[in-house]
Structure 1
Amino acid sequence: MASLSTVVGSQPAIKVIALCGSLRQNSSNRGLIRAATEIAKESIEGLQIEYLDISPLPMLNTDLEVDGTYPPVVEAFRRKILEADSVLFASPEYNYSVTAPLKNAIDWGSRPPNVWGDKAAAIVSASGGSGGVRSQYHLRQIGVFLDLHFINKPEFFLNAHQPPPKFDSSGDLIDAEVRAKLKSLLLALHAFSLRLKRN
């Protein structure tokens, strides 16, 4: 199915769906998605980011698949992914891996036909300790099977608890240096997405 992206200037607009592995309202990872959306609107022409809430998705259960169809909330989720050019994952680290809600969303999207295939993708993580390194590596391994094409650089790992504060009490990003790093990642995702569309 063709992407619904429009054309901006001389090149197609890139439509990015952003998913957050944390369901907490004030999560730092949600804050990264909000900041990414702002950066795209303010300073990256042709990059459109839409946050997609994964909390309504039921736990994967193939008994819910009837005659090749899925529950309406799953069908709507899959359609959004299918229509996007790229995916931005905000992936905190739980127990050395990706979170259960994010893995569940990924698994629903992988049911036939796989809606993740041949899309560009990038990962950001705000977590304790190493900043989500292990969750990102696991997500990249999952992406191999799904035919997702992750950008390799820049990588974005953020220790959200290391001073000075990077987020306010609402989970909004307040650190200018981190914001600049996030913009670099978005520029790389934009460029790689355009390259894939031309091929």
Structure 2
Amino acid sequence: MEAVVAETPRVKVAALCGSLRKGSYNRGLVRSAIELSKSINGLEIEYIDIEPLPMLNTDLEGEGTFPTAVEAFRQKIKEADSILFASPECNYSVSAPLKNAIDWASRPPNVCADKAAAIVSASGGSGGKRSQYHLRQIGVFLDLHFINKPEFFLNAREPPTKFDGNGNLVDESVKEKLKEILISLHAFTLRLQGKLEK
């Protein structure tokens, strides 16, 4: 009699990048995460573009409706099991496009609530630590549940070069750290959903 192998539950991750620049390092982290996820059984990452979102303005809301781009964005977040934030640091905090996307997602009904989340950052200096701290504070109000460890802060300007000229992550040791984040997010999401014991 053949043994029955339990199928790993699927986890769908919505990946948001706080930088709109095509060659941004944080966008490079998302691309790398998508590629790495292919080697993690049960993990699926979809990049959600926040550039089409208008600036938050409640005058744009109707009776329970939102602008088309916002509706599409909110639906993607709602369908996801968890969220991966690639958050650059701007003036010691999160970027304006990322905060705008989060604010749209949080409009009633809040489509972020009770989801697992993780943050990765590539910036100069501290590698985005302060932006991550602020993002975690925002997450408290949104009822997001961030993984605590491992953490991922990358000083993108510190040699040797971690990215190529197109913003693609090329450092293998950094890729391994990024994969650890994804594995942790996958497991934590399943625990929150009651599909995996601690």
Normalising by structure 1, we get a TM-score of: 0.94
Displacement after TM superposition at 1:11 (Å):
3.0
Aligned pair 1:100/2:96, yes or no? yes
Quote how far apart the aligned CAs of 1:197 are: 1.3
Number of the residue aligned with 2:42: 46
State the alpha-carbon separation in 2 of the partners of residues 62 and 90 from structure 1: 26
2:187 corresponds, among 164, 184, 191, to 191
- Give the alignment's Cα RMSD to 1 decimal: 1.1
Structure 1 position 9, deviation (Å) = 5.1
Q: Deviations over 1:165-187 (max 9, x none)?
A: 00000000000110000011100
Q: How does 1:16-27 map to 2 (within 5 A)?
A: 16-27=13-24
- Structure 2 residues without counterparts, runs of 5 or longer: none
Residue identity opposite 2:82 in structure 1: S
Q: Which residue, out of 82, 99, 106, partners 1:86? A: 82
Q: Equivalent residue for 2:141?
A: 145
Q: Quick one: which of 29, 38, 62 aligns to 1:66?
A: 62
When normalised by structure 2's length, the TM-score is: 0.95
Deviation at 1:10, TM superposition (A): 2.1
What is the number of equivalent residue pairs in this alignment? 191
Runs of 4+ in 1 over 4 A off after TM superposition: none
**1:32 match:** 29
1:7-51 deviation per Cα after TM superposition (whole angstroms, max 9, x unaligned): x9523200000000000000000000000000001x101100000
Which string of whole-angstrom CA distances, capped at 9 and with x for unpartnered residues, describes residues 101-144 of structure 1? 00000000000000000000000000000000000000000000
Greater mean alpha carbon deviation, residues 166-175 or residues 9-18: 9-18
SS in 2 for 1:96: coil
Identity of matched residues, %: 73
- 2:191 is aligned with what amino acid? R
Matched, 1:130 2:126: yes
Consecutive unaligned residues in structure 1, runs of 5 or more? 1-7
Give CA-to-partner distance per residue, 1:145-178, whole Å, 9 cap, x none. 0000000000000000000000000000000110
Shift of 1:54: 0.1
Other-structure match for 2:150? 154
Q: Distance in 2 between matches of 1:68 and 1:51?
A: 26
Which protein shows a greater Rg?
A: 2
Distance (whole Å) between structure 1 residues aligned to residue 156 and residue 71 of structure 2: 34
